[in-house]
Amino acid sequence: MEEIRKPLTEPLSTEEVKQQLKESIERDRRAVARTIRRVEREFRKEITQWADWREWVRTYPVKAVIGAAFIGFWLGRKF
């Protein structure tokens, strides 16, 4: 005996498909926007740390002192 299988759900109408696509696109758009904001925050934090001379002195104290001495010596000879 052959069993007849019925579809579990009725086929979606064109309007339902459009609505599902719109919702999916909107979810993806929000996810991309969240990711962009997170990357922007991390980038700003990295740039701020990189450009902060105090962070450089904390991270590389010996190099900072040598650099300051070199610049002081150079400026002293210039003027």
Q: Are 20 and 12 in contact (CB under 8 A)?
A: yes
Position 27 scores a pLDDT of 97
Rounded Cα distance between 18 and 4, Å, is 30
Four-residue CA torsion sign, 23, 29, 32, 34: negative
Q: Are 64 and 56 in contact (CB under 8 A)?
A: yes
Token pair, residue 53, equals 């001379």
Where are the domains positioned within the chain? 15-78
What pTM did the predictor assign?
0.54
Residues 37-78 have pLDDT tens digits of: 999 999 999 998 888 989 889 999 999 999 999 999 999 998
Q: What is the mean pLDDT of the segment spanning 9-23?
A: 89
Q: Are 77 and 70 in contact (CB under 8 A)?
A: no
Place of tokens 């001495």: 69
